[in-house]
Amino acid sequence: MRKGWRAAFTDELDLAPFPSGVRRLTRVLCQLAFVTKGVAVVLVGGVVGWAAVTFDPTRASGLDGALRTIAGTSAGPWVLTAIAAGTAVYSVYCFARARHPVG
């Protein structure tokens, strides 16, 4: 999440040949992607941590279990949609880095 929040990934991409609008859009989408990816990882850590605190290893069900737990809440569909959109947007960063890496 920190990498996205601070835009610390910009030194990994060579977007200089592109117009400023494309560079800005790519930067914003990559920031969103890193933050939502971080949220998903934090959710998994929370579920695993809760399983450790309660001494119930059956609750440590990984990302799938964390997402199912979220789906059961009232805001679940909205949160899952945001996580899915962020994960899909992460592909922008992956494609940009694959096509225009630094070095």
pLDDT score, position 21? 92
pLDDT digits 0-9 by tens, 4-15: 788 888 888 888
Tokens read off for 25: 């859009």
Name the residue among 5, 9, 67 with its Cα closest to residue 38.
5
Number of Cβ within 10 Å of residue 57's Cβ equals 10
Average pLDDT of span 80-91: 84
Q: How many domains does the chain have?
A: 1
Q: What one-letter code names the amino acid at 94?
A: C
Report how far residue 5's alpha carbon sits from residue 32's, in angstroms, rounded to the nearest whole number.
8
Confirm if 90 and 32 have CB atoms less than 8 A apart. Answer: no
> What integer is the mean pLDDT of 72-98?
85
pLDDT over threshold 80, residue 61:
no
Q: What is the pLDDT of residue 60?
A: 61
- What does the mean pLDDT of the chain come to? 81
> Whole domain around residue 14: which residue ranges?
2-99
> What pTM does this model have?
0.66
